[in-house]
Amino acid sequence: MPFDNLSVDAGGPIARIAVDRPERLNALNAATLAELDAAFATLDADPAVRVIVLRGAGDKAFVAGADITEIREQSPIEARAFSRRGQALMSRIHDLETPVIAAINGYALGGGLELALACHLRIAADSAKLGLPEIKLGLMPGFGGSQRLARLIGPARALEMMLGGDPISASTALEFGIVNHVVSSEQLDGAVTERAQALAAAAPEAVRGILQAVRQGLDGPLDAGLALETARFAVCCATEDMKEGTSAFLDKRAPSFSGR
């Protein structure tokens, strides 16, 4: 997959995508959004890929936001299309059957935080800064941040972040529940790889079922979520991986899941 704005390594069960525009702090322009969409669609369709890791190139930024030089020249109609394109990408990531880990290695601001919020797990370096500063530009979040952040941490803290516009530290993001873990910058790659390897070794049908049950269950009534959980639980019980997992538990050995 040749890309101008991404680096993609898909040589195994753990695929890695890096937004590679370090001269722009990995800012998201229209071309980068299109490339990310294509990369995630391709990797999610590859049965050999069990986990996707997303990060920013360099050591300063995960993604520092949308590309302001491009936004500044947009008409309202173009801005609406840009917002919809960004939201479509975030929804694609959120809806993937393959788990995505965001390795937040620096600034995750504006569209960068919205990109991280669309991922399933987020691990941040202790030097990372996260925020939705659009209000300081006379703007508001346009890639789903106003909705995903409020659903994740509640409206009070989400409004404080969006109306104030000031970035928060990685430790505060952990306290708020935005990220799952915070580690030192030196430990970030190792911590992300360790989590990715654990997910890659898990039973794929169980992973897919958990992702769907949580994603769709939170969007509807409890009864519907419980019904979905039961259906996916039953599917898991029809797999060879379930037989392997339960046998390994009883035999007191590590399971070896085949994806069947």
Query: CA nearest 27: which of 83, 65, 70, 78?
Result: 65
* pLDDT the model gives residue 246: 94
Does the annotation mark 70 as catalytic? no
Q: Which two tokens stand for residue 243?
A: 């037989």
- The helix or strand, by DSSP H or E, that contains position 146, with its residue range, turns out to be helix 145-153
Query: pLDDT 10s per residue in the chain (260 long)?
Result: 689 999 999 989 999 999 999 999 999 999 999 999 999 999 999 999 999 999 999 989 999 998 888 889 999 999 999 999 999 999 999 999 999 999 999 999 999 999 999 999 999 999 999 999 999 999 999 999 999 999 999 999 999 999 999 999 999 999 999 999 999 999 999 999 999 999 999 999 999 999 999 999 988 899 999 999 999 999 999 999 999 999 999 999 999 998 88
Residues of the chain with CATH 3.90.226.10: 6-200
Does the annotation mark 134 as catalytic? yes
Residues of the chain with CATH 1.10.12.10: 203-251
Active-site pick, 114, 160, 229, 240: 114
Active-site pick, 23, 35, 73, 134: 134
- Kindly report whether the global pTM for this prediction surpasses the value 0.85: yes
The fold adopted by the segment(s) 6-200 is 2-enoyl-CoA Hydratase; Chain A, domain 1 (3.90.226)
CATH architecture of 203-251: Orthogonal Bundle (1.10)
* pLDDT the model gives residue 200: 96
> Pairing between strand 181-183 and 121-125?
parallel
* pLDDT the model gives residue 1: 65
Distances (CA, A) of 138 to 131, 204, 205: 15, 44, 45
Distances (CA, A) of 41 to 91, 103, 187, 205: 12, 19, 29, 19
* pLDDT the model gives residue 2: 80
CA distance 56 to 115: 11
* pLDDT the model gives residue 228: 95
CA distance 67 to 27: 5
- The helix or strand, by DSSP H or E, that contains position 15, with its residue range, turns out to be strand 14-19
